[in-house]
Amino acid sequence: MANSLQNLRPLALARPRGAHRFEAFSLELARRVTLYRHVALQQWVLLEASSTVQAFCERTGFAIIGGQQLLADFCALC
């Protein structure tokens, strides 16, 4: 499963209107990540620093919760 998660790429989305844009280089993923919310930035730092996380990907897709379509910020394999 780690290989399939490492092959995932984030959804290409336009920056939400009025949102901040945070860009950083992920050592874990060996590529640049772009985040649009403070909470996503904080979550990325936790995933990047954790020794138990084997792989992760940001903005992997959408989930329907209570009839509302929500963007999944991260998917991680520990």
Taking CA 49 as the corner, what is the angle to CA 12 and CA 8, rounded to the nearest 5 degrees? 30
Q: Is the pTM of this model over 0.85?
A: no
Q: Which helix (H) or strand (E) holds 76?
A: strand 68-77
Structural domain including 31 reads: 2-77
Q: Give how many domains the chain has, as a whole number.
A: 1
CATH of the domain at 10: 3.40.1350.10
pLDDT at 23: 94
Q: Which residues of the chain have pLDDT under 70?
A: 1-7
Q: What 3-state DSSP class applies to 22?
A: strand
pLDDT at 3: 54
